[in-house]
Structure 1
């Protein structure tokens, strides 16, 4: 069934606004009762695109998870980067994490909430990640998970859910997610825009759209907390809950109802985009970061920008960035990965040229060849493995870079994860905030390749065509 596009303004004005004063009162009344430790598993590093002042860990050892539980903050992130994993790797990692979290929570006698933070355009290892964790928690905790909540709303990226249909905003138009380029993803593609149908599609019919619990905007806008909480209380057998949302306040309303259900003993897995993590974590909104907030010592060196994502939006943003004359651009021919010797030579060439330019104060942009490497039908796993080799090569450029850049910016979810973990070798970073809506900045830890450097994580699918250029102009003070 084809779902029509809708105009953003028409949708936003078609619902009565929330009584914000009453919402604030309810939030202040209920939120203090929420004492769960929040563990966010991020399938790429863009999940911190709404938060600040929180820790991101890049491994999931028992010691790391214990450290997260012992923090003063109620919330911490673990970057798994599972969107770059095979299904088998994803299964192993999520089982390990869930078992360790359950063990630590029992030892500390601490309730917890696991959030599987996934892509707001619905790509990723779903339902595998949450199913594996559900089984591990139930087996090790001798408990039953009542349900799973899906909340992919992310206003900053233009991802809105209304009438149970998930939309992606393009300028002033909302396009059903199943009709966007993201739905055609070679690894994580899908057809459905209606989230109930999407669940049915992704679970191969195990969970039917008719059995899904839908939290409507009508009940949210009426602040019908009791009714929403009752809906959650009636969920069992790991059935699914879909939450509609057009504004962050809608997520707050749902979070109040969720808190009441959790306080009564209900247990849920969550698959959400970034907005929910901010709201449930009680994290305040802060102004966008400026250059002065990030770059304390004005090095004479230039910055280093890595562009890896191949979605159309990234290519359009790169083209806009190329109009900035003061930057130096290097194309990395990643298709040479099929010839090992030529590929190694290309990696060395790109790194040396970039080092020379950055050392002379010229910010340098390394971008991968824009055409995808296509091995043909039935070769998804092989293509994924080659993409890992390419990513490893890109991260080696950062790891072996002999000049300290003024800042580093990576474009693309998987690219930015690998640059952060394998290039910058970050074990724990602090989220400084956002430099543009949906674009987070880490301050790297002492152990990093470049300690305490501003690291801008720019998702592949966020922003207007000019946003990358605007961010770089801010960092360059041009």
Structure 2
């Protein structure tokens, strides 16, 4: 609890690995594994590191069967559960786990489920992974030996060293428990040390001293055998903390993980986007240019919607306002407290928005920057209110009668709602990233605007000028 801010220079003080040795070892293990990897993504930002992978926005039997039929080793299911209540996420995860196992049986296919969560530790943890574990135990008859926690995500400035998880601000690494993310109304926490975080979140069911920690020293020594030995000794769903400050750290870990799984061990994974890329050995890809994204001739303007209230988002929005090619419209989101008034606000915005887009002008719609606070509020009520606001924001896309050249959504819940409710995407292809950690979907034929590039911009990622750079790339 007493961890202090440290200089980001510490990230350069560890010895480097031999990249050829690590890449070769991981590729061999991935090739040998026959497991289909299904990533359950609690908001659309989990594809921040990958490309040419399918994302299904529902967990119907039809969608999951299509995922299993793909040649790709991995597919994503967008759950959007970070915007769910406990009851909703419980129902969803039981349904998903049961349908995956049933479908895998039809294809006689081994599989593993990865729970992709927030790199700043927010979300329904440990509930979601416990639910999946319980379904597997019931249907398979064997228990899950261990649960892996790896919130490292370089592009977002999230690093774990000495079991402490940090968020990078400028040249400082700030312990996660001391950031604005830890004060989240719904998913807040106090711990900086991930072992303490586990004890805090599990209510003491799993103790600090019970955690197995994979150190940076062993990862940088490429101690595949030593890490594998640690994994083989894990039992009873004990927690495995993965320290990581570079993508090669997670590659070394995944190599040892595959070797442990090949010996019959079973693990659950709760991680950010970096480990997802490593475990499927997905290659790097250059940042996308406009020609790769905007493939349909369209003289209309684009639309940007901003729902996230983080300080980072607000500063990025202010930087975006420097672009004179964008028209800005503020949504009075506080009207959510007055029955019927938020709906009228949406009607007002839509009239002006359609007029501008038809004229070839791009539009940015953003909610009030001051987070609405209510006396005697509860986490559940705060979450439900934020969902109502997000519904209003997404309807500014979903109710458009003109086809925009592109769509950008800023914020986790916002981007999920725009993708699933507004654009009505059921299956999208991940094209890649337009900026580090900023993924782009190509919408499917079934969607509202087929083939339109949809940029998913997390609320907690990027520098001050990143949103402006993204939009500049998309503009003619």
Place the TM-score, normalised by the shorter chain, in its bin.
over 0.9
| Residue 330 (structure 1) aligned with residue 329 (structure 2) | yes
Partner of 1:37: 36
Which stretch shows the higher mean deviation, 15-24 or 230-239? 15-24
Partner of 1:438: 437
Give the drift of 1:306: 0.3
Partner of 1:126: 125
Partner of 2:85: 86
Which stretch shows the higher mean deviation, 379-388 or 330-339? 379-388
Give the drift of 1:378: 4.0
| Residue 18 (structure 1) aligned with residue 17 (structure 2) | yes
| Residue 265 (structure 1) aligned with residue 264 (structure 2) | yes
| Residue 73 (structure 1) aligned with residue 72 (structure 2) | yes
* Equivalent-residue separation in structure 1 for 2:21 and 2:385 (angstroms): 53
* Equivalent-residue separation in structure 1 for 2:379 and 2:249 (angstroms): 38
Give the drift of 1:129: 0.3
Partner of 1:319: 318
The TM-score, its normalising length taken from structure 1, stands at 0.98
Contact 2:428 2:443 in 1 (8 A): yes
Which stretch shows the higher mean deviation, 335-344 or 399-408? 335-344
* Equivalent-residue separation in structure 1 for 2:362 and 2:405 (angstroms): 9
1:47-81 deviation line (CA, Å, top 9, x unaligned): 00000000000000122111111110010000000
* Equivalent-residue separation in structure 2 for 1:52 and 1:452 (angstroms): 16
* Equivalent-residue separation in structure 2 for 1:325 and 1:356 (angstroms): 17
Matched residue SS, 1:114: strand
* Equivalent-residue separation in structure 1 for 2:63 and 2:100 (angstroms): 10
Contact 1:410 1:416 in 2 (8 A): yes
Give the drift of 1:275: 0.7
Matched residue SS, 1:340: coil
* Equivalent-residue separation in structure 2 for 1:252 and 1:135 (angstroms): 28
Q: Which runs of 4+ in 1 moved over 3 A?
A: none
Partner of 2:470: 471
Contact 1:149 1:242 in 2 (8 A): yes
* Equivalent-residue separation in structure 2 for 1:379 and 1:201 (angstroms): 20
1:233-262 deviation line (CA, Å, top 9, x unaligned): 110000000001111011110000000011
Equivalent positions of 1:69-468 (< 5 A) are: 69-468=68-467
Matched residue SS, 1:161: strand
Which stretch shows the higher mean deviation, 260-269 or 107-116? 107-116
Partner of 1:47: 46
Contact 1:373 1:383 in 2 (8 A): no
Size of the aligned set, in residue pairs, is: 476
The TM-score, its normalising length taken from structure 2, stands at 0.98
Partner of 1:4: 4
1:133-184 deviation line (CA, Å, top 9, x unaligned): 1101101111111110001110000101111110001111111001111001
Structure 1: 5+ residue stretches without partners:
none
